[in-house]
Amino acid sequence: MALNVENIRAEFPILSTKVGKYPLVYFDNGATSEKPTAVINRVSKYYREENANIHRGVHHLSQISTTNYENARHSIQAFIGAKKSSEVIFTSGTTEGINLVAQCYGELLSKGDEIIITEMEHHSNIVPWQMLAERKGLDLKFIPLKENGTLDMNAFEGLLTNKTKLVAFTHISNSLGTINPIEELIEKSHHVGAKVLIDAAQSLQHCKVNVQELDCDFLVFSGHKVFGPTGVGILYGKEDILNQMPPYKGGGDMIKEVSMSKTIYNDLPHKFEAGTPNIVGGIALGTAIDWLNQFDFNEIEAYEHELLAYATTKIKEIDGVMIYGTAENKSSILSFLIDDLHPYDIGTLLNQQGIAVRTGHHCTQPVMDFFKIPGTIRASFSFYNTKEEIDVFITALKKAVSMLR
Ligand SMILES: *Cc1c(COP(=O)(O)O)cnc(C)c1O
């Protein structure tokens, strides 16, 4: 059975809106996904019928909110295949998840220890490690890129030593679309005793990921890229490692007992969830995950691959097109330049025709440095996009190019 894209589109009110007189063509899914009615309604229902603080009150609404929030945690646990729901920690997003690990796992590291990341990371998987390396006197190393936008796995083996304590990498590159060989990266990292963090910000909306099968130590993602709200995300961590890590935010909900002289921390997951969280965000992220779960990921992958292949063939009809990221194993992200035309100018002309793409460095400046370019134009597809939209995009792109040449 194939996906019924027309029915899926009907669940996203924004997809039938217009930009000026043009129907919206939303190809900026790498930056954030649009939201289905189920998620929009869940947010509204929470504020209309359920709003109360969680883990605190004995009253009716507080109990409802607490139950719904914890049920969302269970949905997410099942979705990523975690052994226990206490290994699923609510954060504000991928960025906070990585910062949490850098701060708290970082506390267990000492001078001379080594961390390996890659040249294709999003800035949020670079800067926290640079800050940690400086604070603790650690060595930070980068797995280099190859011309087709894949990782140099031979070079990776040369970087691993018995001082390597953590290897952190993205599952799918947000600027190139490359799908990394995460099983091999995990196995080789574990071989020297290093822990592994996966940045799954670009993957859970496209393919099935199971943290126990992968045996990764940490995995982070953002709610807003998987059809959920902004301001909420998940850090998965293995229980024994999370238990060893000290918390980094102090406050309500993360404590068992506070006296003037000392504090006893709460158990997982609450130890890392200080303060009133994004309650509605967490609940609606659960709704987004439940919504996503009705689909077969093999069908999503096949359809998105078809969109990518179609767009790639079509865009090559345009003279002077250069595609960045030509890995065989690639997600539905198409990054390109046309001659020396500025990405911003093309993005502006596409916007004037109702088309949303991202232009710039996509928070991956080292990737742009590698290719010696200032940025790219990025069209990133979701399974609610269509070939007809790609046709509109290609026609608009040709028009933009003819205006600029
Ligand atoms: C979007 C993204 C991030 C950052 O996510 P936030 O939601 O901004 O915290 C990190 N890594 C990758 C690969 C991303 O695509």
pLDDT digits 0-9 by tens, 65-100: 999 999 999 999 999 999 999 999 999 999 999 999
Residue pLDDT, tens place only, 251-265: 999 999 999 999 999
Cβ-contact 181, 156 below 8 angstroms: no
Residues facing 88 on adjacent strands:
236
Identify how many contiguous H helices and E strands the chain contains and give both numbers.
14, 17
Q: Which of 104, 207, 216, 363 is catalytic?
A: 363
Is residue 93 lining ligand 1, measured as CB closer than 6 Å?
yes
CA distance 311 to 304: 11
Q: How far is the CA of 226 from the centre of ligand 1 (A)?
A: 11
Reported as a single tens digit per residue, the pLDDT across 388-397 is 999 999 999 9
User: Cα–Cα distance between 212 and 82 in angstroms, integer?
Assistant: 6
Nearest residue to 378 (alpha-carbon basis) of 325, 327, 340, 330: 325
- Residues 131-180 pLDDT 10s: 999 999 999 999 999 999 999 999 999 999 999 999 999 999 999 999 99
* Confidence (pLDDT) at 130: 98
Is residue 174 in contact with ligand 1, taking CB distance under 6 Å? yes
CA dist 50 and 229 (Å) reads 17
The model's pLDDT over 298-353, given as tens digits with 9 standing for 90+, comes to 999 999 999 999 999 999 999 999 999 999 999 999 999 999 999 999 999 999 99
318 C-alpha to ligand 1 centroid (Å): 31
Residue 145's beta-bridge partner residues?
151
* Of 311, 353, 354, nearest in space to 335 by CA: 311
With pLDDT > 70 as the criterion, what percentage of the chain qualifies? 100
Q: What's the CA gap between 54 and 270, in Å, rounded?
A: 12
Rounded Cα gap, residues 392 and 379, in angstroms? 13
Residue 87 vs residues 140, 190, 199, 236, 260: alpha-carbon distances, Å: 27, 20, 16, 6, 30
Which pLDDT belongs to residue 288? 98
Nearest residue to 120 via CA among 152, 145, 91? 145
Instruction: Give the C-alpha separation, 181 to 202, whole Å.
Output: 14
- Band of pLDDT at residue 118, cut at 50, 70 and 90: very high
| pLDDT number for residue 1 | 59
CA atoms 60, 66, 72, 77: torsion sign: negative
pLDDT of residue 273: 97
Backbone φ and ψ for 188, nearest 5 degrees, come out as: -70, -35
> What six digits make up the tokens of 154?
């031979």
Pocket-testing residue among 94, 123, 365, ligand 1, by greatest number of atoms within 8 A of Cβ:
94
Specify whether the CB–CB gap between 255 and 264 falls below 8 A.
yes
Bridging pattern class, strands 358-360 and 355-356: unpaired
Which residues are within 8 A (CB) of 82 and not within 5 positions of it... i.e. 6 or more apart?
Answer: 88, 211, 212, 236
- Annotated catalytic, 363? yes
pLDDT tier at 56 (50, 70, 90 boundaries)? confident
Please provide the average confidence, as pLDDT, over all residues in the chain. 97
| Atom number, ligand 1, closest to the C-alpha of residue 224 | 7
Look up residue 224 and give its two tokens.
Answer: 């807003």
Question: Which is it for strands 114-118 and 139-143: parallel, antiparallel or unpaired?
Answer: parallel
Minimal-distance CA residue to ligand 1 atom 14 = 201
Residue 232 confidence (pLDDT) above 70: yes
Which three-class secondary structure state does DSSP give residue 198? strand
Q: How many residues does the chain have?
A: 405
Residue 185's SS3 state is helix
Residue 310 to residues 39, 114, 150, 307, 313: CA-CA distances in angstroms? 30, 42, 22, 5, 5
Least confident span in 19-23, 258-262, 285-289:
258-262
The token pair at 297 is: 């990921």
Kindly state the average pLDDT of the residues 2-9: 95
Say which residues have a Cβ less than 8 Å from residue 277's Cβ, sequence separation at least 6.
54, 69, 90, 232, 253
Instruction: Tell me the percentage of the chain whose pLDDT exceeds 90.
Output: 98
**28 in contact with ligand 1, CB cutoff 6 A:** no
**How many Å lie between the centroid of ligand 1 and the Cα of residue 199?**
8
Distances (CA, A) of 195 to 102, 130, 163: 12, 17, 11
DSSP H or E segment with residue 118 = strand 114-118
Q: Largest Cα–Cα distance in the chain?
A: 71
Residue among 94, 98, 144, 120 at smallest CA distance from 361: 120
Give me the mean pLDDT over the 26-36 stretch.
98
When pLDDT is cut at 50, 70 and 90, the band that residue 283 belongs to is very high
pLDDT classification of 2: cutoffs 50, 70, 90: confident
Residues 196, 199: Cα–Cα separation, whole Å = 10
Q: What spacing in Å lies between the alpha carbon of 57 and ligand 1's midpoint?
A: 34
Residue 96: exposure state from Cβ atoms within 10 A (0-12, 13-18, ≥19): buried
- Identify the pLDDT of residue 292: 98
**Secondary structure element (H or E) that encloses residue 401, with its range:** helix 387-404
